[in-house]
């Protein structure tokens, strides 16, 4: 599906025709301020043709935009810039941080986005464009920066949900430890490792973008929006690293508490074994079937032996308690 948006002096319009997007290389009064072409799961050849017609996109940039997996990147081709981001896939959060690619081509008057399947960021940007409560960006570059900010906000929202879940896991480890928690923590640690790598890529990308000198695309008046996106990307990278370390700490805490519980069980079993070793020794002696055993003929031998066993067990228990082993 292809969606076309067009902003000019008369307002914002959504069109279904690519021909309505014609815009000069530099906006003038009465001409479109910007145009947005959103490509969603179109055939690769069709997408490439639109990219070439609208922005004269470089073949390498087109290939990078259409790949299933590619690290986030930024390239400036003079007449347009190419931004490649990772966006979280839509759905209810269940500890999964699976991402998909979001390619953004932006020139002075046009922005072209390409993604596979559903893009929550593009959907939210489209809603904001139709919502009169949100001011419409005045140029294509700031529209692209708004889209980047929405992507960053998506990561931040997921991380906030993860924080609540980690708090709950911490309480469960203390009060209701279960093996399922360890499995969940291991899965989250793997997901956070991948997320941290993606967020660090994003933070480095926009940090480098802030260092570029002002050009026709990176205009001085868009610097606050660019700084805002960069700071948000840095925050997501910092939180991803923090939660990755926290999951590692929770895992070690669970294993330490499990080892402590196991040591307590082993201590009790060792004490029980220690008490019954001498008792078993005495029972073994008097369980022998020898004819001439002196105590066997004693009238009170059975009771004396039981009493002696009770004294031995009581003495050992007293000794263990005094040494604070119990």
Beta strands 80-88 and 99-107 are antiparallel
- Tell which phi-psi region holds residue 24, choosing left (phi > 0), alpha (psi between -120 and 50) or beta: beta
Please tell me whether the overall predicted TM-score, pTM, comes out greater than 0.95 for this model.
no
Task: Quote the pLDDT of residue 8.
Answer: 66
pLDDT band at residue 218, thresholds of 50, 70 and 90? low
Q: Look-up: residue for tokens 């914002």?
A: 12
The per-residue pLDDT for range 191-204, each reduced to its tens digit, is 888 888 989 999 99
pLDDT per position as a tens digit, 79-131? 888 999 988 887 666 667 888 889 999 888 888 888 877 788 888 888 888 77
The secondary structure of the chain in percent helix, strand, coil, rounded to multiples of 5, reads 60, 15, 25
Q: Provide the 3-class DSSP secondary structure of residue 213.
A: coil
Q: First-to-last CA distance in the chain?
A: 72
3-class secondary structure for 121-185?
A: HHHHHHHHHHCCCCCCCCCHHHHHHHHHHHHHHHHHHHHHHHHHHHHHHHHHHHHCCCHHHHHHH
Whether residue 266 is predicted with pLDDT greater than 50 in this model: the reply is: yes
Instruction: Please state, in angstroms and as integers, the Cα–Cα distance from residue 132 to each residue in 14, 15, 139, following that order.
Output: 15, 18, 17
Q: Quick one: tokens of 179?
A: 């093996």
Condensed to tens digits (0 to 9), the pLDDT of residues 281-320 reads 888 888 787 777 777 777 787 888 889 889 988 988 888 8
Report in angstroms the alpha-carbon separations of 26 from 107, 110, 176, 226.
10, 10, 64, 21
> What's the average model confidence in pLDDT over 245-254?
88
Helix H or strand E encompassing 256? helix 223-285
With b for 16 or more beta-carbon neighbours within 10 A and e for fewer, the 227-266 pattern comes to ebbbebbbbbbebbeebbebbeebbebbeeeeeeeeeeee
Residue with tokens 């979001």: 102
Of 184, 322, 190, 304, residue with least CA distance to 254: 184
Q: What is the C-alpha separation between 61 and 70, in angstroms, rounded?
A: 11
- Write down the pLDDT at residue 221: 65
Beta bridge partner(s), residue 85:
102
């Amino acid at each position: 599906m292809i969606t076309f948006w067009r902003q000019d002096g008369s307002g914002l319009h959504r069109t279904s025709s690519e021909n309505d997007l014609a815009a000069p290389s530099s906006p003038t009064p009465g001409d479109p301020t910007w145009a947005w072409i959103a490509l969603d799961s179109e055939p690769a050849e069709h997408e490439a043709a639109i990219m070439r017609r609208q922005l004269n996109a470089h073949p390498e940039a087109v290939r990078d935009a259409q790949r299933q997996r590619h690290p986030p990147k930024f390239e400036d081709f003079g007449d347009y810039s190419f931004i490649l981001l990772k966006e979280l896939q839509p759905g209810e959060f269940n500890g999964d941080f699976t991402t998909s690619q979001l390619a953004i081509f932006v020139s002075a008057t046009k922005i072209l986005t390409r993604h596979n399947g559903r893009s929550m960021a593009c959907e939210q940007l489209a809603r904001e464009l139709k919502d009169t409560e949100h001011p419409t960006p005045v140029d294509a570059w700031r529209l692209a920066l708004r889209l980047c900010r929405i992507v960053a906000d998506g990561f931040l929202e997921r991380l906030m949900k993860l924080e609540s879940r980690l708090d709950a896991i911490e309480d469960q480890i203390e009060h209701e430890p279960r093996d399922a928690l360890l499995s969940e923590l291991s899965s989250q640690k793997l997901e956070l490792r991948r997320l941290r790598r993606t967020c660090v890529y994003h933070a480095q990308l926009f940090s480098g973008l802030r260092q570029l000198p002002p050009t026709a695309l990176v205009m001085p008046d868009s610097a606050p929006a660019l700084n805002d996106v960069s700071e948000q990307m840095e925050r997501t990278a910092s939180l991803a690293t923090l939660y990755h370390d926290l999951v590692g700490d929770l895992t070690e805490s669970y294993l330490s508490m499990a080892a402590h519980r196991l040591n307590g069980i082993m201590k009790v079993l060792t004490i029980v074994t220690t008490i019954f070793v001498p008792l078993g020794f005495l029972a073994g002696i008097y369980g022998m079937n020898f004819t001439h055993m002196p105590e066997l003929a004693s009238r009170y031998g059975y009771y004396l032996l039981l009493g002696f066993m009770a004294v031995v067990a009581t003495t050992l228990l007293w000794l263990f308690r005094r040494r604070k082993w119990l």
